[in-house]
Amino acid sequence: MAEVIYPRMAVIGCGLIGSSVIRAVRRAGVVETIVVADASSAVRDRVAELGFADEVTGSVADAVKDADLVVLAVPVLAMEAVAKAAAGSLKAGATVTDVGSVKGQVSEALARNLPDSVFIVPGHPIAGTEQSGPDAGFAELFDKRWTILTPLPRQDDPYLEAVQQLADFWTALGANVDRMDDKHHDLVLAVTSHLPHLIAYNIVGTAADLEEVARAEVMKYSAGGFRDFTRIAASDPTMWRDIFLANKDAVLEILGRFTEDLQALSRAIRWGEGDKLFELFSRTREIRRGVIAAGQESPEPNFGRDRERH
């Protein structure tokens, strides 16, 4: 029998990540009672049908009442409104965390709107698929993936204990846990996640707009590279709109560097500088090997996609 870490948990927003957290919690047995709040009546009805929550409500205030852990799983630009709705109903000593891909702006919004009587520990599980909604979640989503916590600059013992408790929670859900400063997180994720998504959206959009190539041909003859770009570009548009707006400084910084490197690559192709191309391709190949060695990808053919659950 697993040890209960939080007797009562409220999950606000039940999309891919929120529903995966709930399923992983059920598998781990580390929470006794789970309450879900979602603004969508269709989502609430589906959560009730799926039966993985003990209570379902449309009220954030009702959901967080008496909760020991509150997980905010809404788009990052909705965090402030949700925090305001929850503030008056949170019990003293509760831990409030989130699963957003941007931490700087979210940390500020939560600290600005939540009472001092709760422990705010922003977080980001680096896991997901292009699917969304309560049916998309699965308990194994976080297994061997990283969850990053970005604690506030507090050093008092009760807060540090709350941070460790949340780290233990994510470990129980199968994740590896790391901690870092929120601004550094946003820069790292701008490189590893946000820019790749921006490139994917742009490439797929460019292909769709080419007049010389029929859309049917783009879909019919998609090789692995373009096909994977379409998978990334199928991600939730609301979530990614909010991510780019909330993390614009870091994204623009990395995008500027990327643009300079792309121009250098363009010159190498134009002037037939094969040695420069070979050097770049050899160096980047090592990055791929490093990702596999870190356990964040499979070396199987087709990137192991056939074995993944989507």
Pair of tokens at residue 41: 């009546």
**What is the reported pLDDT for 227?**
78
Same domain, 161 and 265: no
Same domain, 168 and 198: no
Alpha-carbon distance of 144 to 127, in angstroms, equals: 10
In a domain, 283, yes or no: no
Given a contact cutoff of 8 angstroms between Cβ atoms, the answer to whether 31 and 7 are in contact is yes
φ, ψ (nearest 5 deg) of residue 295:
80, 15
**What is the reported pLDDT for 310?**
35
Question: Are β-strands 146-149 and 176-179 bridged in parallel, bridged antiparallel, or unpaired?
Answer: parallel
Same domain, 109 and 236: no
Given a contact cutoff of 8 angstroms between Cβ atoms, the answer to whether 200 and 233 are in contact is yes
Same domain, 45 and 109: yes
In a domain, 12, yes or no: yes
Q: Which of these, 18, 10, 38, 37, lies nearest to 135 by C-alpha position?
A: 18
Same domain, 211 and 229: yes
In a domain, 38, yes or no: yes
Q: Which of these, 122, 24, 116, lies nearest to 70 by C-alpha position?
A: 122
CA angle 144, 28, 22 (to 5 degrees): 90
**What is the reported pLDDT for 259?**
93
Same domain, 162 and 211: no
Domain housing 163: 6-180
Alpha-carbon distance of 264 to 271, in angstroms, equals: 11
DSSP 1-27: -PPPSEEEEEEE--SHHHHHHHHHHHH
In a domain, 292, yes or no: no
**Percentage of the chain with pLDDT > 90?**
72
CATH code (residue 263)? 1.10.3660.10
**What is the reported pLDDT for 215?**
66
The domain boundary residue, chosen from 137, 157, 180: 180
* CA dihedral over 306, 286, 218, 238, signed as positive or negative: positive
The domain boundary residue, chosen from 147, 165, 180: 180
Same domain, 169 and 194: no
pLDDT string in tens for the chain (310-residue length): 679 999 999 999 999 999 999 999 999 999 999 999 999 999 999 999 999 999 999 999 999 999 999 999 999 999 999 999 999 999 999 999 999 999 999 999 999 999 999 999 999 999 977 788 899 999 999 999 999 999 999 999 999 999 999 999 999 999 999 999 999 999 999 998 899 889 988 888 887 777 666 667 777 777 667 777 888 888 888 888 999 999 999 999 999 999 999 999 999 999 999 999 999 888 888 877 777 777 666 666 554 444 444 3
DSSP state letter for 296: S
Given a contact cutoff of 8 angstroms between Cβ atoms, the answer to whether 36 and 57 are in contact is yes
CA angle 174, 185, 256 (to 5 degrees): 135
Same domain, 124 and 209: no
Which whole-number Å values give the CA distances from 94 to 91, 116, 182, 210, in the listed order?
6, 11, 21, 53
Q: Which amino acid is at 258?
A: F
In a domain, 219, yes or no: yes
**What is the reported pLDDT for 173?**
98
Alpha-carbon distance of 218 to 209, in angstroms, equals: 11
User: Model's pTM, two decimal places?
Assistant: 0.85
Alpha-carbon distance of 179 to 53, in angstroms, equals: 29
**What is the reported pLDDT for 149?**
98
Question: Are β-strands 31-37 and 69-72 bridged in parallel, bridged antiparallel, or unpaired?
Answer: unpaired
In a domain, 35, yes or no: yes
Same domain, 156 and 189: no
Domain tally, the chain = 2
Same domain, 154 and 262: no
Q: Which amino acid is at 100?
A: G
Pair of tokens at residue 220: 């019919």
CATH code (residue 59)? 3.40.50.720
**What is the reported pLDDT for 113?**
98
**What is the reported pLDDT for 302?**
52
The domain boundary residue, chosen from 180, 209, 232: 180
Same domain, 32 and 168: yes
φ, ψ (nearest 5 deg) of residue 10:
-115, 130
In a domain, 62, yes or no: yes
In a domain, 171, yes or no: yes
Pair of tokens at residue 301: 């053919």
Pair of tokens at residue 124: 């980001």
**What is the reported pLDDT for 304?**
45
Q: Which of these, 137, 51, 156, 49, lies nearest to 99 by C-alpha position?
A: 137
Same domain, 225 and 79: no
